[in-house]
Structure 1
Amino acid sequence: MRVSIVAVGRQKRGPEQELFEIYRGRTLAQGRALGISEIALRELPESGAQTSALRREDEARRILGQIDDRAVVVALDEHGREFTSEGFAQALQSWIETGAPEVAFLLGGPDGHGEAVMSRARFIVALGRMTWPHGLARVLLAEQLYRSVTILLNHPYHRG
């Protein structure tokens, strides 16, 4: 199964990008035992449309164009469901077990997700009640993916 992270905005070089890459590498190395074959990051430029609604619509169309029609779609949104690390690991395990070719985590632009993304999403997930910069949201997601893999493999990284 592929894990895709489709994000509006480009990550600049720096500590956030380095941390993301560390967790992505760790997740892939450990996750192969669970059937995770790839962790892809696809970055899309922010829309230049004139209004917030038009920007969300444009970005949603481009985001959805990046994922497999059979993908399990997880939209990251501040109003989404909050998980514990154990709960997120259980969700990851269920996504793996469904045999879906891809689990796609979608990070919208500064204006949020368009209606097309929200209606396509099987799950809407919040990384907490606080608002995070996109660079840190990517790191938080990558770390939780790694933590989930270690939970599922009974690795001592997570001692919760």
Structure 2
Amino acid sequence: MLLHVIARGKIGRSPEAELVERYARRISWGFKVTELPDRGGVIPVPTATPVRTVALDERGKQLASTAFAEILGRWRDDGVRETRFLIGAADGHDAPLRDGADLLLAFGAATWPHMLARAMLAEQLWRATSILSGHPYHRDG
């Protein structure tokens, strides 16, 4: 299954970009990042079907790493070809996008900078795929 991060804003060359790259290299599944401008731009049409959409949103579910991995594993096993992870701009996502998402995901109650959220997502995707492959490194606590 392709893990496709679609994020508003350019990460450029930054410590956060280095973290995203570090975890991207470790992910054993297909992984792709698409950057959109802060405003405007069109979310790309899915290249595969079926597709699931996860929107990072402060109103979303806070999931343990194992629960997140279970969801991705179930979607993979159900034949989902691509899961798209949407990271919005400073104002977040509009209601239609949130309503259309298969999952709203939050990284806790705190507000995170978008570049750091992208790095955190890459780490959680690496962790989830590691859990699903039986890799021993992982903790929920």
Structure 2 equivalent of residue 23 of structure 1: 23
* Shift in CA distance, 109/66, structure 1 to aligned 2, threshold 3 Å: farther
Matched, 1:87 2:67: yes
Matched, 1:40 2:32: yes
Classify the secondary structure of the residue corresponding to 2:53.
Answer: strand
Q: Choose from 125, 128, 134 the match for 1:145.
A: 125
Cα displacement (A) at 1:67 = 2.9
Query: Which residue identity lines up with residue 73 of structure 2 in the other structure?
Result: Q
Classify the secondary structure of the residue corresponding to 1:4.
Answer: strand
Matched, 1:154 2:112: no
What residue ranges of structure 2 are gaps of 5+ in the alignment?
none
Cα displacement (A) at 1:105 = 0.3
**1:66 and 1:129 mapped to 2: Cα distance?**
31
Structure 1 equivalent of residue 5 of structure 2: 5
**2:106 and 2:60 mapped to 1: Cα distance?**
5
**1:92 and 1:40 mapped to 2: Cα distance?**
16
**1:159 and 1:2 mapped to 2: Cα distance?**
24
Cα displacement (A) at 1:74 = 0.4
Q: Computing the radius of gyration over CA atoms, which structure comes out larger, 1 or 2?
A: 1
Cα displacement (A) at 1:72 = 0.2
Aligned residues: 139
Q: Is the 8 A contact 1:6 1:66 kept in 2?
A: no
Q: Is the 8 A contact 2:50 2:79 kept in 1?
A: no
**1:159 and 1:8 mapped to 2: Cα distance?**
30
TM-score, reference length from structure 1: 0.81
Q: Is the 8 A contact 2:55 2:104 kept in 1?
A: yes
TM-score, reference length from structure 2: 0.91
Classify the secondary structure of the residue corresponding to 2:138.
Answer: coil
**2:139 and 2:61 mapped to 1: Cα distance?**
23
Which structure shows the bigger proportion of residues in helix conformation?
Answer: 1
Give percent identity, aligned residues only: 41
* Shift in CA distance, 138/122, structure 1 to aligned 2, threshold 3 Å: same
Classify the secondary structure of the residue corresponding to 2:21.
Answer: helix
